[in-house]
A and B are shown apart, each in its own frame.
Chain A
Amino acid sequence: MNIFLIGMNHKTAPLEIRERLAFSCGDGVDPLKEIMRGPQIMEALYLSTCNRVEVLASTLEMNEAIESMKAFILAQGNLGRGEMEKCLYVHRGSDAVRHLFRVASSLDSMVMGEPQILGQIKDAYRQCVEGNASGVIMNKLLHHAFRAAKRVRTETAIAENAVSVSFAAVELAKKILGHLQGRSILLIGAGEMSELAARHLIQHGAERISVANRTYARAVRLAEEFHGIPVDFEHLEEKLQEVDIVISSTGAAGYIISKEMIQAALHRRKNRLLFLIDIAVPRDIDPAAGEVDNAYLYNIDDLQEVVDENIRGRLKEAEKAEQIIDEEVVKFTDWFNTLEVVPTIVSLRDKVEGIMKGELDKTLSGMQHLGEEERRNIEILASSIVNKILHDPITGLKEESQNGSAIPFVAVLRRLFKLDRE
């Protein structure tokens, strides 16, 4: 298979090297154009994300193309040869196909199952098509990759459960409160993680947000950012009665919310469910508050445990995904193998001669009055027409195959004459 993939990702190369590559390609230079200028490159796809830089290409002469690609990357990244060799990986043939499918299915991502990578590959493919760098193989290969990714997504649970603390909070909130539309949040204290959790909850429909802080001025500032209302620390208890979700992350040394406060609040809110998230270390909410009926308290370790469990779940699902990838690689390889010249000529002949025989039988059966010799003449006529028509395409194909550039022609021929069963 004359396909190869060369590149580096977050596992093989440190950020400084990856960004040097991505940056150098960023300013003014169209990397795809540069790649296509390389010798023996027929088609190419250039994929650059924050976690990987990869070139996928089909070629007429594998070794020469790979060497020139390496040299290109070397020059672009301004890297020493030894340094680069350590970071680069090269996959050939079906290994390259498998790598692409794994990347597209997010099996090779930093956070396995994350959905962005597929979109990034689609963008790269769009550039590839717009830059006239795609052909029969690349089109087929990318569509197979999209299909593999879709299968992995729908047939495994790899992308199902939250793998970050803030998303775990959203997931739990949904299990407790059902939908989050119109739910209200009380944010106590400030902190990156609590703000992120609040943002995610808002994205999922939560609306009214109140911000409480020891220093009122900070509460006002943060409330502005969230289009919420600042709350005085004195009025915390009243707020507990209204809201559905509490996220707490203050730097306080002791508990700022006691079991009694929660009990009283639940009583006043007629036992409407209350979800408490305590992200602070040391903790803000008395753990005993979690024992109150209709109050559900999760601290940072609980959330982290949920996340860890989900990650273990994804790893298990990844095994299923690898099987799907294997199947899809076989399917693509099967298609690729039909691109051989000789079998294509054989099936083209078979098809056309089959048509000729069928038509002859139909016509001759309606002309019983003809003698043996006349029949033979008609048959000779038909078959020489067929041979004359087939002669040019077949010799053309053979010539191309001697130049090593028959594959696109074979693919087009197979498609136009519908030689593939699928």
Chain B
Amino acid sequence: MEATLFKAALLGYLVATLGYMVSLMVKRVVFARATVWILLAAFVIHGVSLALRCFSRGLTPAIHPHETLSFFAWAMTGTYLAFQLKTKTRVLGAFVSPLAFLLMVVASSRLGVDVSVPDILKGTLVPVHVALSVIGEALLAIACGAGILYLAQDSQIRQRKMTPMSRYLPSLDDLDRVNHVSLLAGFTLLTLGLLVGSVWASTVWGRPWPWDPKLMWTLAAWFFGRQFIF
């Protein structure tokens, strides 16, 4: 059941990607407007699939890297759809849906493989840590997409011409707002995720920050981000 839903969601992301590509090619927002509904459907189906997986073996949404990717795709889509309610940034879906689709393709390679949860990852803090970090990163991905579109629109407007591309892309102000909000929220969630993670690490390993390469990179990225955002 859960695998079928996963495949359905994968298909949904593919169709949404194609829809956005068509919209981008003919530069008509109408297509993007219709595609949002397909993406919403994929998001809901994907969400049910994730929920089933969670309930079937405790609350942890993602243990394996592949599952993390799937959860990441879901969180990113959800964030985009939430922004969609408030701003006219439909075209952003052209960035989100192919990324979600690719992540899902990679995630699907381990579909149905049953990973048993190691004892060390069974604490109550683990799901909180995973959820905060992944949603935080998903928000940063949205910020990245909005940033790319902003630069594209900015260069169009600075050419002092109203090209079809410029008409198609969202307004600078909307893109700026999406970028701003998702950067702030993403960085905050990521920080909280790191804190929860280190609390959990000190309970199981006895120290808050074990020095392995992955965590070094994480810390470096966090400082890098802090430097640029504030």
Tell me if B157 and A177 are in contact (CB < 8 A): no
CB-CB < 8 A to B214: which residues of A?
none
Query: Whole-angstrom distance from the CB of B157 to the nearest CB of chain A?
Result: 6
Tell me if B171 and A178 are in contact (CB < 8 A): yes
Tell me if A172 and B176 are in contact (CB < 8 A): no
Tell me if B162 and A176 are in contact (CB < 8 A): no
Tell me if B173 and A178 are in contact (CB < 8 A): yes
Tell me if B162 and A171 are in contact (CB < 8 A): yes
Question: B153 in the interface, Cβ–Cβ < 8 Å?
Answer: yes
Residue in A168, A175, A290, A310 whose beta carbon sits within 8 Å of that of B153 in the complex: A175
Bound Cα distance A168, B160 (Å): 11
With A175-B166, A175-B171, A176-B172 as known contacts, state yes or no: A305 contacts B160, CB within 8 Å. Answer: yes
Bound Cα distance A171, B176 (Å): 18
Tell me if A174 and B161 are in contact (CB < 8 A): no
Bound Cα distance A178, B177 (Å): 10
CB-CB < 8 A to B174: which residues of A?
178
- Majority-rule SS of B interface residues: helix
Bound Cα distance A177, B172 (Å): 6
Interface size class of B (residues with CB under 8 A): 10 to 19
Question: A286 in the interface, Cβ–Cβ < 8 Å?
Answer: no
1/0 per residue, CB under 8 A from B, across A299-311: the answer is 0001001100110
Bound Cα distance A161, B171 (Å): 16
Residue of B nearest to A301 (CB): B160
Query: Whole-angstrom distance from the CB of B76 to the nearest CB of chain A?
Result: 23
CB-CB < 8 A to A309: which residues of B?
161-162
Tell me if B162 and A161 are in contact (CB < 8 A): yes
Tell me if B173 and A296 are in contact (CB < 8 A): no
Tell me if A273 and B160 are in contact (CB < 8 A): no
Bound Cα distance A178, B87 (Å): 9
Tell me if A175 and B167 are in contact (CB < 8 A): yes
Question: A298 in the interface, Cβ–Cβ < 8 Å?
Answer: yes
- Considering only residues 151-166 of chain B, those with a C-beta below 8 Å from chain A are 153, 157-158, 160-162, 166
The 9 closest A-B pairs by CB, nearest first: A178-B171, A178-B173, A302-B160, A178-B174, A177-B173, A306-B162, A176-B172, A175-B171, A296-B157
Provide 29 A-B residue pairs closer than 8 Å at the C-beta atoms, listed in order of the A residue. A161-B162, A161-B167, A171-B162, A172-B157, A172-B162, A175-B153, A175-B162, A175-B166, A175-B171, A175-B172, A176-B171, A176-B172, A176-B173, A177-B171, A177-B173, A178-B88, A178-B172, A178-B173, A273-B173, A273-B176, A290-B158, A298-B160, A305-B160, A305-B161, A306-B160, A306-B162, A309-B161, A309-B162, A310-B162
Q: Which A residues have a C-beta under 8 Å from some C-beta of B?
A: 161, 168, 171-172, 174-178, 273, 290, 296, 298, 302, 305-306, 309-310
